[in-house]
Structure 1
Amino acid sequence: MSRIPRSALILGLAGVLPFGWGVLTLLSPGLHDWATGFLGPRFVGPYVQLFYGAVILSFMSGVLWGFATKAEGSRATTGYVLSVIPALWAFFTTGGGETAAALNLTFGFLALLLLDGAFWRWGLAPPWWMRLRILLTALVVACLLLTALL
């Protein structure tokens, strides 16, 4: 695996910030109250994580779709079919309360990592892809599990 491009790493880590922010506002009642008043209730605690998590799983479906365009024949068909799974997972599993949604998103991000690995092994993702995806997935999953357990 090669080195992650700096811009991809910085933007990827920036994309984890809403997950971390959600945990911080769960752990700090003062920060939660301030953020609720300043930003609104959708941007604190589990709500920011759950909404953003569904958005990111959908975004990653698009990324995988883009990778599938590099394939041909049955591999392309398989890639297209697999690429829609993260978005569908987010759509169908984020109801049912904060804890269930956080756990379902956790499973979604872990499954996405498996899909990332498949596209990478097929040579459709950049050489550095798995280094980035393992790091980002670990951070996101840690934040979602904290939310589910708090």
Structure 2
Amino acid sequence: MKRFIVYGLAIAGLIPFMIGALYHLSPIILPQWSWLGSVTTYYGAIILSFLGGIQWGMSLSQANIKTKQWLIFSNIISLMAFASLLVPIYALTLVILCFGYLLALVVDLNILATIGPMSGYRSLRVWLTIAVCLLIGLSGL
């Protein structure tokens, strides 16, 4: 049951990225809702910052994790999310977000190597990161 909920919520978390990509690929579908063009960047920054917060929490809660190193990376990831929203060039914003997601994945995989997550969680994180980066890329077309 837990695995079903985790996977279901993970897939549901992709919906805003899909909406943003769909809007950018074909804005004529939802012309009166031009604000959808910002969904990818705002939602992407929120979730990226959330991932940094999770890493912060995991670093503090596990005695066997190299706390200093991962605390610094978790802050860098959250600050990248914030900085991405300040960049006036949309394509650069998307690049920063995608790089942030890739960095978050690397940090997560290193932290998870020391705490032993739920079976299949590592592959889920990799799959989600690939999906998010692809959808972010589609939002830039």
TM-score with structure 2 setting the length: 0.87
How far did 1:124 drift?
A: 6.0
How far did 1:130 drift?
A: 1.1
Q: Deviations over 1:98-123 (max 9, x none)?
A: 11101111111111111111111122
1:15 aligns with 2:6: no
How far did 1:74 drift?
A: 7.1
Percent of aligned pairs with the same amino acid: 29
1:133 aligns with 2:125: yes
Contact kept? 2:25, 2:138, Cα under 8 Å: no
RMSD between superposed Cα atoms in Å: 2.0
SS in 2 for 1:33: coil
Q: Distance in 2 between matches of 1:58 and 1:143?
A: 18
Written as runs of structure 1 = structure 2, the 5 A alignment for 1:1-150 is 5-36=3-34, 41=35, 44-45=36-37, 47-72=38-63, 75-94=66-85, 95-123=87-115, 125-148=117-140, 150=141
When residues 73 and 114 of structure 1 are mapped into structure 2, their CA distance, relative to the original with a 3 A threshold, is closer
Q: Distance in 2 between matches of 1:123 and 1:140?
A: 25
- Equivalent residues, number: 139
TM-score with structure 1 setting the length: 0.82
